[in-house]
């Protein structure tokens, strides 16, 4: 009888631990989604404003100068690291780590299997050298406006500006509705 009671107690502890972890993950996902939405919206507003003011050439400068500042501001505001990465980065400081690369490869598989690009998101608890983190990524689709700087045919003046800011640029050759990259969020677990 004591063995049965002990087993039931252990099962209850395991179930409540799993429920607590799920609840923590759900809370993180909500917070990360809010942060991603705010970062994406702020970045899009800055890029569209630059496009209206000076076209794609001006947008290149925004990506180079404003995007990192916005990411830092959003990271501080939301208490988590927020950024962008890609399998084909433009800015080498945005290069994907091993976990991000794996997730983006999964996104590519999910997209080719017919899943909508807007639904491509993933989160999990990850062990790192410094401890545990919650991590989340959300795919960034290639829209029509993206193609002037990220497409297959880039106008020479835009290419010259890209070459100036990003001599090792790999973020070209995209087509409409390709996965251009992903927003990435991480939060240390206390």
pLDDT, tens digit (0-9, with 9 covering 90-100), for 129-162: 889 999 999 999 999 989 999 999 999 999 999 9
pLDDT, tens digit (0-9, with 9 covering 90-100), for 98-109: 999 999 999 999
pLDDT, tens digit (0-9, with 9 covering 90-100), for 104-134: 999 999 999 999 999 999 999 999 888 999 9
Confidence band of 1 (pLDDT split at 50, 70, 90): low
In the predicted model, is pLDDT for residue 181 greater than 70?
yes
* SS3 readout for the chain: CHHHHHHHHHHHHHHHHHHHHHHHHHHHHHHHHHHHHHHHHHHHHHHHHHHHHHHHHHHHHHHHHHHHHHHHHHHHHHCCEEEEECCCCCCHHHCCCHHHHHHHHHHHHHHHCCCCHHHCEEEEEEEECCEEEEEEEEEEECCHHHHHHHCCCCCHHHHHHHHHHCCCCCCCCCCCCCEEEEEEEEEECC
pLDDT of residue 11: 42
Which domains does the chain show, CATH number per domain?
A: 23-188 (3.30.450)
In the predicted model, is pLDDT for residue 3 greater than 60?
no
pLDDT of residue 129: 87
Confidence band of 61 (pLDDT split at 50, 70, 90): confident
In the predicted model, is pLDDT for residue 22 greater than 50?
yes
In the predicted model, is pLDDT for residue 54 greater than 70?
yes
């Amino acid at each position: 009888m004591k063995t049965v009671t002990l087993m039931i107690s252990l099962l209850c502890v395991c179930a409540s631990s799993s429920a607590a972890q799920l609840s923590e993950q759900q809370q993180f996902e909500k917070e990360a989604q809010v942060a991603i939405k705010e970062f994406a919206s702020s970045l899009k507003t800055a890029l569209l404003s630059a496009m209206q003011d000076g076209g794609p050439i001006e947008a290149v400068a925004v990506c180079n100068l404003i995007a990192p500042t916005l990411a830092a501001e959003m990271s501080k505001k939301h208490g988590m690291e927020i950024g962008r990465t890609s399998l084909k980065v433009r800015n080498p400081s945005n290069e994907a780590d091993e976990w991000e690369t794996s997730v983006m490869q999964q996104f590519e598989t999910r997209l080719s299997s017919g899943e909508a690009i807007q639904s491509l998101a993933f989160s999990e608890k990850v062990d790192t050298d410094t401890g545990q983190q919650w991590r989340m990524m959300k795919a960034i689709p290639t829209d029509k406006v993206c193609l002037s700087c990220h497409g297959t045919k880039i106008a020479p003046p835009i290419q010259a500006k890209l070459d100036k800011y990003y001599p090792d640029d790999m973020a070209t050759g995209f087509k409409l509705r390709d996965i251009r990259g992903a927003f990435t969020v991480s939060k240390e677990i206390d």
